Amino acid sequence: MAAERRLPPVSQLCITSMVLVVIGGIYLAAYLPGAPSLVLPTILAILAAVVMAANVAALSRVKVFAWPVFFKVIRWALLAYVITSGMIELVFVLDGTPAGVLGLLTAMLAIYAVDIPLLLAFTVARYQPA
Amino acid sequence: MQSASALPASSVAPPRERTAHAGVEIVPLRGLPIVAAILIALLVAIVGNWGWALMFFHVAGGGLWTGVDLFVGLVLGPILGRLPVEARIEFSKRFMPKMMLIMPTLVTVTLASGWQVARRYGFLAWPYPMHWWVTASFIVVGVMAVIALAILEPANLAVLFELNKPEPDGKLIGQLMRRFIYTSGITGVMQLATLIIMTRLGTP
């Protein structure tokens, strides 16, 4: 059974990264339209990016995996999540979000837009024959 | 992969039905123009800062999202949980592709318009402690987003790909469906919290 292959904890790391981004996003949103401190959300975004990078690195070392299925799913998922992230970004731009906050939100959206497609593609491909 | 002979008797389909499993459409292409039209209309409403349209998208989208979550989690979920694997597979083949389009669209529309409504009508500027209701809504949405995006949606997609195999693994589909049903129940209950928060925010 394909699910019995030993694989890195991609799903868990994706969820960890996403939880960090969501906490940072909630913190920022709770203070808008005021001027929130960027220290905590910046630390959370950096941690999320590090976890995501480690996740991608760990997955890229896997040799026996249903890579064609993985790339098929991630391609379309990336398209969908880039569109929705772009819409959210547009909302923040139109609202005149301050530059520092906007930059941080953009970084968080970028992590989200990669993280979820990665999770979707991995979850599908892990059950497919390599 | 588990062989068909290892599946429970109720989950082993005759050859003709097994062939039919291979044709599951993962994303219903006919629905994509509708989704595109809705998202474009949402963009127009946001760019134009059109109050009525923003409120329409938020109320309609939020109502449908809450309704679907409660119905799937608390009504359909328990029923599905008691069905034999083969029945769940037949249901999933018809139900899950539609959910692949409906739920992300509803969530995007509700959240994007909701943020704009909150900004336009001054909810974001409320002072604490009243602002806690707004913050609570962010927390509930954040938790629901993690559950939906990290557990529900991947399980949904994995089931659809499994159904596209010539011989779907009934045990795996059962496991993934169970995950789908439990998490739908959790988000359904969390939607009750959303209803309380939203009605509180809407009460002067």
pLDDT above 50 (res B6): no
What integer is the mean pLDDT of B35-55?
A: 93
What residue segments make up the domains of chain B, in order of their start? 26-201
8 A C-beta contact, residue A71 and residue A115: no
What integer is the mean pLDDT of B21-34?
A: 81
| Listed residue (B115, B5, B111) closest to B65, CA to CA | B111
pLDDT at A4: 57
Which residue range forms the structural domain that includes residue A91?
A: 7-125
Distance from CA of B126 to the nearest CA of A (A): 10
- List, for residues B56-71, the tens digit of each pLDDT value: 999 999 999 888 888 8
Q: For residue A115, tell me if it sits in a domain.
A: yes
Give the CA angle between residues B138, B201, A40 to the nearest 5°.
25
Mean pLDDT, chain B, whole residue set: 81
- List, for residues B167-189, the tens digit of each pLDDT value: 888 788 878 877 877 787 788 78
- List, for residues B62-102, the tens digit of each pLDDT value: 999 888 888 888 888 888 878 887 887 888 888 888 888 89
Separation CA A63–CA A74 (nearest Å)? 18
pLDDT at A59: 94
Q: What's the burial of B9, exposed, middle or buried (CB within 10 Å: 0-12/13-18/19+)? A: exposed
Residue B98 in tokens: 């539609």
Separation CA A117–CA A85 (nearest Å)? 12
Cross-chain residue pair A119–B149, CB shorter than 8 Å: yes
CA distances in angstroms from B16 to B1, B7, B21, B94, B167, listed in the order given: 20, 17, 9, 17, 11
Q: Does A4 touch chain B (CB under 8 A)?
A: no
| Chain A residues within 8 A of B162 when measuring between CB atoms | 127
Cross-chain residue pair A69–B161, CB shorter than 8 Å: yes
8 A C-beta contact, residue A106 and residue A74: no
Report the domain count for chain A: 1
Q: Does A95 touch chain B (CB under 8 A)?
A: yes
pLDDT at B35: 93
> If you ran DSSP here, which 8-state letter would residue B126 be given?
P
- List, for residues A99-124, the tens digit of each pLDDT value: 888 999 999 999 999 999 999 999 99
pLDDT at A34: 76
pLDDT above 60 (res B20): no
Q: Does A119 touch chain B (CB under 8 A)?
A: yes
Q: What's the burial of B41, exposed, middle or buried (CB within 10 Å: 0-12/13-18/19+)? A: middle
pLDDT at B145: 85
pLDDT at B22: 52
Q: For residue A98, tell me if it sits in a domain.
A: yes
8 A C-beta contact, residue B78 and residue B148: no
Q: For residue A13, tell me if it sits in a domain.
A: yes
pLDDT at B88: 79
What is the block-wise mean pLDDT of chain A (130 residues), using blocks of 10 residues?
71 94 90 84 96 95 91 92 88 85 92 94 89
Which residue of chain B is at minimal alpha-carbon distance from A13?
A: B150
Report the percent of chain B where pLDDT is more than 90.
Answer: 20
Q: Does B172 touch chain A (CB under 8 A)?
A: yes
Which residue of chain A is at minimal alpha-carbon distance from B136?
A: A30
